[in-house]
Amino acid sequence: MLNPKTNLLFIGRNELLKKSSKSVSLRGNYYNQLRMNQAVSGFSKLSKEEKIAWIAKTYFSTPENAIQLLKNYWNTDEKIQQLHDEFIENTISNFYIPLGVAPNFLINGKYKTIPMAIEESSVVAAASKAAKFWSTRGGFTTRVINTEKIGQVHFIFNGATEKLNTFFSKIKNDLFTETESITKNMQARGGGILDVVLKDKTDLIPNYFQLHASFETRDSMGANFINSCLEQFAKTLKEKASQYELFSENEKDVQIIMSILSNYVPNCLVRAEVSCPISDLEEKHIPNPQEFAEKFVQAVQIAEVEPFRAVTHNKGIMNGVDAVVLATGNDFRAVEAGIHAYASRNGQYSSLSHAKIENGVFSFWMEIPLALGTVGGLTSLHPLVKLALEMLEKPSAQELMQIVAVAGLAQNFAALRSLTTTGIQDGHMKMHLNNILNQFDASEEERISIRKHFKNQTVSHSAVVDLMKQLRN
C-alpha cells in the first residue's frame, strides 16, 4: 500500500498524465517505476517458477522472452537440474561457462590433459601451445613444498598479557582434547590440528589477541573442518577463562569476536618450473633464442618491480589457475585472495613468477599458495566436476595443487612469449574473431570469407566490422 505522501504524488501525477497524448504509456512507465522501487517480501519462500515470474514481470518489458531465455538454460534432466538448483539459494537458471581441455602437458614425466572452465578466448589455446612447446623440452617439474592451512580465533582480553600467556599454557592441551570428536576422522586420514599458538596483536588494536592454529586437511579443502575446530577452541577458551582463579572478574570476561579460517595460506605452497638450454628455445617465432631468453627475463623482472605491470602479469597466471580450480569444483575466490596476498607479502605487489639465465640454461618458475580439495563439496556432487577429476586420473589434493600451478605457469609463459615476440593482440584477436562474428550473426559464407581475409592480417573489431559491411552491401 502507498503511504499518504506517495499517494498524493501519485494522484498529482495522474492528473498530469490525463493531459498528455501519451498518458497510457507514461502511466505504464510510472507504475513500473513504482513497482521496481519497492522491496519484495518473502522472496526466498516463493517457488522457482514464482521467483522467475516476479523477476520477469518486474524488470523486463517482454516477460515471456525473459522467462523463455532462463528456461532455455535449464538441464533437461530433472534430477541434474534439481542438483544445480540446490547448490545455492534463489536459483532461477544455470549460467554456462565453456569447459575446454588443454592436452599434452608433460608433468614430472607423465602426460596430462587438463580441464579448464573459462569464458575468455585464447586462454585454452595458449595453455595448449605452452604445453606442446615444453613437452619436447623436458616438460614441467613440480613439487609440493608444504600443505599447512590456517585458522584463527580473534578475541579481546582486558588484562595483563603475562597472565594470559600463563593461562594459555595451562589450557593448550584442552584445546586438542575437546576437539577430538571433530578431529577423529581427519586424524585417521593423516590430518588434524598441527599446532595452536597465542598471538599478541595489541600493537594493532588495544586488547586484541588471537589463537592462531595450523591444520593438515589431506585431500579436503577443509573449510568446515577448520571452522568447527575454531569454534570449539573459542568455546573452550571462554569457558576456561571464566573459571581461571588467577583472573580478575574483568579478565575472566573474554570477548570472542569471531572464529574463522584464513584464505591466506603462505605455508601451503607448490612450485612449478620449466628449464632447458637456451639453444633449445628456438622455434618458428623464436629465431634468436638468446635474444628471446634475455628479453623474457627482462619482462619478468619488470613485473617483479612494477606493480602496474605485475597485476596484469599475475592476472595471466590466474587465467590458467582459476580455469582449473573452477573445473575441479574448488573455490577460485579463496584461491585468488590468497595468491594475491602472497604476491604482496614483501610489502609491494609483485610478480608471482620468476626467470633467470644461468650457465646457458633458461629457467622459469613459480611458487604459489594453493588450498585445494578433491573430496567434499562440489567435488562429490557436480557431475562435470567429477568428470574433470576423473580426466585428471583422480588426483590427491597435492597432485591437484601441482596440476593447477602448471596451468598457471604455462599460461604465463604463453603470454610472455607473445608479448616479447609477435605481440599479444595477434593471437588473442584471432581467437576473439569468433565472438565478433557471433555478435553480427555472420552466415557460414561470411565466416569463411572473413577468416580467409584475416589469415595474414591483424584482427581488430573495427576492421572486422568494415569488412562485414562490405560483404553485406
Q: Which positions are annotated as active-site residues?
A: 120, 315, 331, 428
Written as nine digits, the cell of 421 is 615476440
Give every CB contact of residue 13 below 8 A, 6+ residues apart in sequence: 30
**Residue 100: which of 115, 112, 111 has the closest Cα?**
115
**Residue 296: which of 311, 275, 270, 321 has the closest Cα?**
275
Written as nine digits, the cell of 438 is 557471433
Backbone angles phi, psi at 113, to 5 degrees: -105, 120
| Buried b / exposed e along 6-30 (16+ C-beta atoms within 10 A) | eeeeeeeeeeebeeeeeeeeebeee
Written as nine digits, the cell of 6 is 506517495
Written as nine digits, the cell of 202 is 595489541
Task: Say how far apart CA 378 and CA 331 lie, in whole Å.
Answer: 10
User: Is the sign of the CA dihedral 328, 368, 185, 231 positive or negative?
Assistant: negative
DSSP 220: B
Q: What is the full DSSP assignment across 110-139? A: EEEEEEEE--STTHHHHHHHHHHHHHTTT-
Answer for the pair 407, 114: CB distance below 8 angstroms, yes or no: yes
* 459, 464, 467, 468: CA torsion to nearest 10: 150
DSSP 140: B
Written as nine digits, the cell of 392 is 585428471
Indicate the SS3 state at residue 8: helix
